[in-house]
Structure 1
Amino acid sequence: MKQNFTVRQGALDGVETFLNVARHRSFRRAAAALGVTTSAVSQTIRLLEARVGAALLTRTTRSVGLTEAGKRFLERAAPAFEELVAAAEAARDLGQRPAGLLRLAVPRAVVPLLLEPVIASFCQAYPEIEVEIAASEEMVDLAAHGFDAGIRLGQFIAPDMVAIRLTPPFPFAVVGSPDYLSRHPPPERIDDLRGHACLRIRRSNGSIGPWSFVEDGKAVEAIVSGPLVAHDYPTLLGAAIQGLGLAQVPEPITRAPIAEGRLQEVLSSFAVSTPGIFLYHPGRRQVLPKLRAFIEHVRHQG
């Protein structure tokens, strides 16, 4: 048979009062320490004893002592109560200053794009915060998996999340290496992609994402094919740099390899824009100082 280990309602009532009386050996001094009247202390102890089912204190006109039951209760209750107080203080401390473990769920593409430039300066600015980055393309349940926040492209964030913009909107760029484009005529129209090796991404729901464009002001999706399917944009980018084919990836991660001559952009006039990158979390009431500090730091660094 399953046992019920739930603490009964009110089971902790009177414990602090009892500990004070046991410590001071006086109802009057315990009342002064608690800021209540002596009669209130007496009444609280009577209710506690009734609930426990045993006398905990012996009272005379001159002193207060512990019964055997009271001694046993004190031995177990005192350290437990101290742990509860310490737990409350630790929680209160995290609610008042930037400290503790900050867990973030982010896609791999965001790490070099957004986090690498700011993570070192953030850790130096807030030495009492420990940062854990879980780089994954999966859309995780933040609360269920113990994350403080996630970072995603805006179009993939659920509407019940609080979303905070971290970057301006940016396009998705189609890029290929100079070597690949020397062997294959650069596409000039979307239909030209049929003759190209197109590197594709598998979404977190298992489907392979089409390539998205804008033509004559209308959204267009192109079903493409090619030799590689990856689960993240950095892998597609690396394969494009190696000359395996064309890749459609967030434009910010293409800037450095394009500037270095390792990639070239094509079909730029058809590029579709995304809302940008956002940090998201379950609700405003759950924003602890550690997360608030991170949000402000990323904004200022940007």
Structure 2
Amino acid sequence: MRGSLAELEAVLAVSVQGGFRAAARELGISSSSLSQQIAALETRMGVRLFNRSTRSVVLSAAGEQFVASVGPALEAIRSAVEHVDEHRAEAKGTLRINTSIGATRMILAPLILEYMQRNPQMEVEIVTEAALIDVNAKGFDAGIRIREAVPPDMVVVPIGDNILPAIVGSTAYFNRHGKPEVPADLQKHTCIRARMASGAIYRWEFERRGESFALDVPGKLVLDDSDLMLRATLNGAGLAYLNEWQVKDHIAAGRLEQVLADWTPPYPGLCLYYPGRRNIPAKLRRLVDLVHEVRQLSDMERLS
């Protein structure tokens, strides 16, 4: 016995819609054509899939078992076909992404510019905001944030590895004030404090040998942008709690020095996230595939 995909779609449509007329409208065919497809399938199978009356159409016991078995398989077939179509179709339009300015600096060259080169018909609009917003309600296709900031109802695609914090100061600053050897020493230093999007002052986080805690460090300069914090640190204004990616070149060049490295724990890295739905637009699917590709290349480089 063989049933065509059209016949299987017909059975599922009637079971979901609860009637031939509504199912026919969904499938874009006539009620009589739909009835004939199901009747033909029932004849070949030798069982009745629906119990029909003048008032209702309900699945028979055999029909319930059939739908339970066929439904997931048919969904997998639809998904596979849609995925192939997305790769075949040229991505066009505008991809709107909401993220933070720091995240944009990290992913602009390796991800966004590469995406635009591969998809020349696409436009990309990146809106940077410190505060987390509802990307779906605000009309964005996706967001990029650190993993712990992503809402729980989103599909999450990790972009990179964990992010390693770095407490840094300029050589000139350390020549004047010395270096802290344990976090408690920071109380005797000048720190550049960060104001978060919530309005709260960030408390520097520490962890070592299972002990974790946060400190409200002293400092008269409060900034809400990490690039400004870096500039102030380079000018000897104090110590800053930044991420290793942002300061590594300055450390290598001798402009900055890192302290308390064994006290600063890594935290989950950046993720691409978007609302869960069955049909992902081709423009977004291309970005998701590129994220997977970039991550695989990064993993291979570490192993080589």
CA deviations on 1:110-136 (whole Å, 9 max, x unpaired) are 122222333332211101110011122
* Identity across matched positions, percent: 36
Confirm or deny that 1:109 pairs with 2:102.
Answer: yes
Change (3 A) 1:271 1:298: same
In structure 1, the partner of 2:180 is 187
State how 1:118-133 maps to structure 2 within 5 Å.
118-133=111-126
**Shift in Å at residue 97 of structure 1?**
4.0
Name stretches of at least 5 consecutive residues in structure 2 with no aligned partner: 1-27, 31-84, 296-304
Q: Distance in 2 between matches of 1:153 and 1:246?
A: 23
Contact 2:191/2:239, CA 8 A, preserved across alignment? yes
In structure 2, the partner of 1:16 is none
Confirm or deny that 1:235 pairs with 2:228.
Answer: yes
State how 1:21-170 maps to structure 2 within 5 Å.
96-170=89-163
Equivalent position amino acid for 1:215 in 2: R
Equivalent position amino acid for 2:184 in 1: D
In structure 1, the partner of 2:251 is 258
In structure 1, the partner of 2:218 is 225
In structure 2, the partner of 1:273 is 266
Change (3 A) 1:94 1:300: closer
Contact 1:108/1:234, CA 8 A, preserved across alignment? no
**Shift in Å at residue 226 of structure 1?**
1.1
Q: How many residues align?
A: 214
CA deviations on 1:218-260 (whole Å, 9 max, x unpaired) are 2110111213222232222222122111111122111122122
Q: Distance in 2 between matches of 1:194 and 1:100?
A: 53
CA RMSD of aligned residues (A): 2.4
Contact 1:95/1:288, CA 8 A, preserved across alignment? no
- Does the residue aligned with 1:254 lie in a helix, a strand or coil? helix
Equivalent position amino acid for 2:120 in 1: P
Contact 1:95/1:289, CA 8 A, preserved across alignment? no
- Does the residue aligned with 2:278 lie in a helix, a strand or coil? helix
Q: Distance in 1 between matches of 2:282 and 2:241?
A: 37
In structure 1, the partner of 2:207 is 214
CA deviations on 1:252-296 (whole Å, 9 max, x unpaired) are 111122122221110001011101111111214353111121122
